[in-house]
Structure 1
Amino acid sequence: MLKVTCAIIVQDGLVLAVQRSKKMQMPQKWEFPGGKLEDGESEQECLIREIKEELHLDIMLGEKLPEVIHKYPDFKICLIPFIASIQSGELYLAEHQAYHWLPKAKLLELDWAEADVPVVKEFLKSTC
């Protein structure tokens, strides 16, 4: 099972969603940014590293939300979400093709990767 972290980055009341490129698995689906946990790395270290690599942002992690286990046709994923805020940097997409800053109420209007849907729904219950 793949262990993958993701960041629900909140800034000025808006939430960051990124769109997978056409070259990635699940092309053009929306997701919270993050990536695969490497050996010897904590969940927090992984997420901070991945956001720096993918978005050129330094983030501070807040609350951890419940993990989601999802089985895709050819792999199984454990998605580990954290709510986060930007500390510094300027958003630059290294891998994704697009991004949106959205109010919470608009999040479910996007075509999310299946594993991210329960994360979105759990986040909508939070007070952030």
Structure 2
Amino acid sequence: MIEVCCAIIVDEDGLVLVTQRSTSMSMPLKMEFPGGKIEPGESPEECLIREIKEELDLDVQIIAPRPAAPWHYPNFSILLLPFVCRITGGTIVLKEHAAYAWMAPSDLLNCDWAEADVPIVQQYLNISNDVTS
């Protein structure tokens, strides 16, 4: 199983950053939380900070981990490790993705997500609702 970290980046207004996979990536044009594979000897947190810098040229601070979610695609399986983050520096520069958007949490389920991200979105919305209600 491939371990993959992803960032649920939230701004000061509660909007969430989502990115669209490019046409050259697997699952082209699907939406996802940015991130990537953990390299040998790397912690999930180190991976996330590195990947967000490489993909978006952003510096992020991890606020809280969220529960990991396994996903089984036909040809491979991943364990998606999500972290809620905030931006501490940089300006978004798309190095791998086709597009990005800041979205209200209530709009997240309307996106065409990569399948593995759907449980992460649902989990984030459930936890956010639990905290705010």
State the TM bucket, normalised to the shorter chain.
Answer: over 0.9
What is aligned with 1:8?
8
Letter of the 1:3 partner, please give it. E
User: How much has 1:125 moved relative to structure 2?
Assistant: 1.6
Can you list the C-alpha shifts for 1:32-64, whole angstroms capped at 9, x where unaligned? 000000000000000000000000000000111
Letter of the 2:118 partner, please give it. V
Identity %: 55
Distance in 1, Cα, partners of 2:119 & 2:111: 13
Distance in 2, Cα, partners of 1:124 & 1:93: 26
Which residues of 2 match residues 1-128 of structure 1 at below 5 A?
Answer: 1-11=1-11, 12-127=13-128
- Normalised by the length of structure 2, the TM-score is 0.94
Runs (4+) of structure 1 exceeding 2 A deviation are: none
Distance in 1, Cα, partners of 2:66 & 2:37: 17
User: How much has 1:126 moved relative to structure 2?
Assistant: 2.4
User: How much has 1:8 moved relative to structure 2?
Assistant: 0.1
Letter of the 1:90 partner, please give it. T
Q: Secondary structure at the match of 1:5?
A: strand
- Normalised by the length of structure 1, the TM-score is 0.98
Aligned CA RMSD, in angstroms, stands at: 0.9
Distance in 2, Cα, partners of 1:73 & 1:62: 33
What are structure 1's unaligned runs of at least 5 residues? none
Distance in 2, Cα, partners of 1:106 & 1:70: 23
User: How much has 1:105 moved relative to structure 2?
Assistant: 0.0
Aligned length: 128
Letter of the 1:51 partner, please give it. I
Distance in 2, Cα, partners of 1:80 & 1:62: 14
What are structure 2's unaligned runs of at least 5 residues? none
Distance in 2, Cα, partners of 1:126 & 1:61: 17
